[in-house]
Amino acid sequence: MNKMYGFEGEVIKKYSVPFYNFFSDLFQKLPISFLINEKVLVMHGGLFSKDGVRIDDIRKINRF
């Protein structure tokens, strides 16, 4: 997505490849989503492509 929407090219042009790699690594470590007071689900990138995904399903994802 970073390449498709121009983020990669812009960071490399303005800064450097190592700086872009830092951002890419950072983005991989950010939470997929989080829950505020068991009421508000906050996500970046939209909803899942399939229906029926539950909070426990998200918690089970092994990111690393």
Nearest to 43 by CA among 51, 26, 55: 55
* Domain chopping of the chain, boundaries: 7-59
pLDDT tens digits, 4-24:
889 999 999 999 999 999 999
Check: pTM over 0.75? Answer yes or no: no
| CB 33 within 8 Å of CB 41 | yes
- Supply the pLDDT for residue 9: 95
pLDDT in tens, 10-61: 999 999 999 999 999 988 888 888 889 989 988 877 667 889 888 888 888 8
What rounded mean pLDDT belongs to the chain? 87
